[in-house]
Each structure stands twice: as structure tokens, then as C-alpha cells.
Amino acid sequence: MEVRVLSSAQKLIKISVPPRRDSRKGLEVPCPPKRRGVSPKAHMKKIIITKNNSGERTDRFLVREFFSYTRGEIIRNIKSGNITVNNKTVKPSYILKENDAIEVMKYEAYNMKQKEIIPNAKIKFEIIYQDENIIVINKPAGLQVHPVKSLRDHGASPSPNNTLANGLIYKFPEIKTVGDEPENRPGIVHRLDKDTSGIMLVARNQKTFEALKNKFKNREIQKTYWALVYGKLENKKGLIDAPLARSADYKKQTIARAKTKTKIRPAITEYKVLKEYGDYSLVEVKPKTGRMHQIRVHLSSIGHPILGDEKYRLKNMKAKENIVRHLLCAKKIEFNLNGHNFKFEIKLPEDFKAHVL
């Protein structure tokens, strides 16, 4: 492990509140949470439908707008009244018209007993570095970064209390109020997939969180990954510039095409072959954008999916034996914060290392 410090310089809510009865229509609608001196309208996000979005189902439109939510979560919020159109509860299939006003209840910590992260001392991860502003960790493969809303709300497995966020709160309780969504992702500025191992940054205060968030947005933080992929790449280095979108069934990411109907986001990935091992290759990858599953989809799109990646493995490629997760590691990160240059690099985890020695 190398550590160097050099001197220089849209969200939804699931609310449990008693309903009130609308005597005019005989309908039960959820009451907005009461907060002294604050109008319920202050907690609403309004979206006005333009001509380009008219004629589309409400649920499909909102899945694109709120990318981190599943279609099922969107539908539940529409049916519960957390999402309305023109101040009315509608069906998920309601066809939007130009100038329709969608109101979405913002994700607020109204019910902290249900929403707060529970500290868990059993969550294991390596702390690479810490100071008064940041924590740098090495996340092991198989550890979910934070509770997934659908898991927390519906009691599905795995346990919503066995995530990195639960372990972070136990070791660093001061981050409990840090972030855009501290009740779900305390201090967490960026994420890794559950089965991706490697370096992550965590902010210890809100000022640092905002600074790091802006640096990620402005591409001022350089992340380097190592991936083990199928086959030998014809071009030993290159740039993959291919926009991404949700697949039609919303279950994974895909390369955007001319007929893609889900929201399209630009995505750019730089790669370089480090070493070849018979029928697979070790590749260094530097994402220039931060889309969900970006590296995995981009490498698969050029015919070289990551070993162990069952979601994006090509049909003509057989699964490798003794590989239980996709072999992708966030190996290095470089950035400047408060006038200091930081560079952190880790060794490959044992399960990855076993295939490259």
C-alpha cells in the first residue's frame, strides 16, 4: 500500500404517517408531515412536463428522472400518494400531458426511527488513512455500501444492517449527519458495486462532503481500476466513448442506441492492457465519468467482459470456474483537497491476485 500526502494547495420518500379522509372523494390520502414554521410545499419537488415528455406513462418518465430508484419503488410511491400529478393521486399508467405538474415528496428524515443507520461493530473493512476531514477505506468484495431502500422497506435479504454504512457509523459516529442523504449514505461521496473491491472516500464533515462531491462532478478526482477480462484485446489501449442507459426491463445498464427510450447519459472510459494470460487479460481502467456499472458495461461492449461478471458476460463465453464475483478492483485514487495532494494505492485482494500470478 502506498500513501502519500504532499503540501501544495431528486429523491423520493416513503413516509409512515396516518392518512386523512377526503370527504369529497371518499379517498384516503397521506397527510404531509407537520413541521413547525414550514409549509408542506417546502418539502415538495415539482416537475413540469414539457412537450417532449408528453404522451409518456408517469412511472416510466419518473424512472428516468430518479435513476437510483427501481420501477417498483416508483410505482409504490405513486400509489401511496407520495407522487401526485396536478395535486391528484393518479395511476402509474397515467399518460402525461404537456404542462402537467408532478409533485414528488423530497426524501427527508421525518421518521428517523425507521430511517436511521444502525451501527454494526461486526462490519470489517480496512482503514487506509484518516484525518479530521476524510476517511479512506479499502472495501472488501461482497460488502454492500449502504442499505438499499427496497431491502430496508420490505425486509428482504441481505440484512439492511450489514452494510459498509453500518460499520462506518460504528467507527465514526460523527458522520451520521454528513451528506445529501445521511440517513441512508452517511459521509459516502461515491459508491462501488457490492462485488467490486477497493478504495473509497468518506467525508467526516459536511464542508468536506460538498468539496469532494464537486470534485467528482468536475472530474478532478482520478480513479484507477484493475480488471481481469476475457480474451486478448486487439487495441492494447484506447478510449471507450459510449453513452449508457437503463435496459428496457430496467434490470441493468446498456449501451444507448438510436431507439433507446430510457434516459441516456454520456460515459467515457480509458483503458490500457497491463498483461496477458492466455485467454484473459489484466487491464488498467480509468473512468472519466461515473455511471452505474460503467466499466463493466464498456468492457463487455468491446467484447471483453470482466471475469466473474454474470450480469454482463457475453452469451458465447463460458463462466470461469472458481470465480465467485467479478474481478474488478478500485486500486488507486488521486485528488487535491485543501491545498494537499493525496494519492492512495492498495494491493490486489487475494481472490484477484490468485489469477494474475
CA-to-CA dists, residue 171 to 26, 104, 118, 346, angstroms: 50, 34, 12, 21
Q: How far apart are CA 31 and CA 15, in angstroms?
A: 9
Catalytic, out of 100, 193, 195, 309: 193
What beta strand segments (E) does 31-125 contain?
Answer: 44-48, 83-85, 101-105
Instruction: Kindly report the number of other CB atoms within 10 A of residue 176's CB atom.
Output: 16
Amino acid at residue number 299: L
Q: How far apart are CA 227 and CA 248, in angstroms?
A: 27
Who's near 54: CB < 8 A, 6+ residues apart? 96, 97, 98, 100
- Per the listing, cell 482503514 goes with 127
Instruction: Kindly report the number of other CB atoms within 10 A of residue 281's CB atom.
Output: 20
Q: How far apart are CA 244 and CA 260, in angstroms?
A: 10
Q: Is residue 193 flagged as an active site residue?
A: yes
To which H or E segment does residue 77 belong? helix 71-80
**Joined grid coordinates for residue 255:** 449501451
CA-to-CA dists, residue 236 to 170, 239, 271, 314, 338, angstroms: 44, 11, 8, 20, 37
List the catalytic residues: 193
